[in-house]
């Protein structure tokens, strides 16, 4: 080859050809790109479910930690108030059928029929009002995706007005010596992920719960049997009965083989 009127030497040609060959070898072809995209997609398909499960497990652990703090606060409250648990207007009646256990997710009530024309802390809300707990976020589960998230109620916590519901269902029954903690068997569930309605449900495959001895347990339900019998609406007429029965199942630690009621279908 002649360059600028001068013939190119054999050595120069060899060196130039070698450099061009290296460039050609280092370049990606369309085939290489497609193979890379396929491999990356395959890896993502394998890893994403695992990563999703790990993320959900981490949120479940945080949920259990929040409940453990509430359980500790309940014991501290009982120690300071003669062994009595925080009262709730939904469980004070000696008549079982005048109680509303499905409503014990509320921390504070504003112009509710149970409290009249006033704003009142209730149930677990007393733990915050009396500073046994200092951050309201502890009443919320990171897995909750529907109504009553912490973000939904930040303004109510800040202003001191409005009703506030949490993500955990409290259990209080004044018929048990007016709520004395010491009268409860150690394996009695005091607190759990809410199950008054399907939108309230935090983990479809089970729930965390706090027992009377302060321990936190995971109640597994991989078949989602409990979730499937919980009503769609929090105002469902079956909600009260279902909540009462489910507390009993948490106490014994298992779900009955036959569940003799079905959820009410969603309202149109």
Please determine, for residue 22, whether its predicted confidence score (pLDDT) is greater than 60. Answer: no
Lowest mean pLDDT among 91-105, 152-166, 184-198, 249-263: 249-263
Q: Are 70 and 211 in contact (CB under 8 A)?
A: no
pLDDT at 218 over 60: yes
Q: Where are the domains of the chain?
A: 44-252
Confidence band of 169 (pLDDT split at 50, 70, 90):
very high
pLDDT at 5: 56
DSSP line for 137-159: GGGS-TT--SSS-HHHHHHHHHH
Question: When comparing pLDDT for 239 and 170, which is higher?
Answer: 170
- Give the CA-trace dihedral at 103, 105, 108, 111, to 10 degrees: -30
Over 90: is that where the pLDDT of 23 sits? no
pLDDT digits (tens, 9 = 90+) for 69-94: 999 999 999 999 999 999 998 987 76
All residues at 6 or more sequence positions from 14 whose CB lies less than 8 Å from its CB, including other chains: none
Structure tokens at 119: 């704003």
Model confidence at 33, pLDDT cuts 50, 70, 90, reads: confident
What is 57-124 written as a DSSP string? HHHHHHHHHHHHHHHHHHHHHHHHTTTBPPP-TTS--SSGGG--GGGTTEEEEES-TTT-SSEEE-TT
Separation of alpha carbons 219 and 229, rounded Å = 16
Q: Is residue 61 over pLDDT 50?
A: yes
- The tokens describing 148, both together, are 């009553």
Which residue did the predictor score with more confidence, 86 or 115?
Answer: 86
């Amino acid at each position: 080859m002649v360059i600028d009127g001068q013939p190119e030497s054999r050595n120069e040609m060899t060196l130039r050809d070698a450099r061009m060959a290296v460039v050609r070898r280092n370049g990606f072809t369309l085939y290489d790109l497609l193979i890379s995209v396929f491999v990356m997609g395959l890896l993502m398909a394998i890893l994403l479910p695992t990563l999703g499960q790990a993320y959900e497990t981490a949120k479940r652990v945080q949920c259990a930690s929040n409940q453990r703090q509430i359980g500790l606060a309940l014991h501290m409250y009982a120690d300071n108030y003669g062994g009595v648990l925080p009262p709730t207007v939904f469980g004070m009646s000696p008549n079982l059928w005048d109680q509303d256990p499905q409503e014990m997710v509320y921390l504070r009530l504003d112009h509710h029929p149970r409290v009249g024309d006033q704003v009142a802390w209730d149930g677990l809300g007393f733990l915050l009002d009396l500073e046994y707990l200092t951050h309201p976020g502890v009443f919320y589960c990171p897995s909750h995706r529907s109504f009553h998230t912490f973000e939904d109620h930040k303004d109510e916590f800040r202003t001191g007005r409005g009703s506030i519901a949490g993500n955990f269902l409290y259990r209080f029954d004044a018929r048990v010596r007016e709520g004395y903690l010491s009268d409860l068997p150690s394996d009695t569930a005091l607190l759990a992920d809410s199950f008054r309605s399907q939108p309230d449900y935090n983990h479809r495959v089970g729930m965390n719960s706090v027992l009377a001895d302060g321990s936190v347990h995971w109640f597994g339900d991989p078949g989602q049997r409990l979730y499937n019998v919980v009503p769609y609406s929090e105002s469902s007429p079956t909600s009260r009965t279902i909540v009462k029965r489910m507390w009993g199942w948490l106490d014994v630690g298992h779900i009955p083989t036959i569940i003799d009621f079905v959820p009410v279908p969603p309202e149109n």
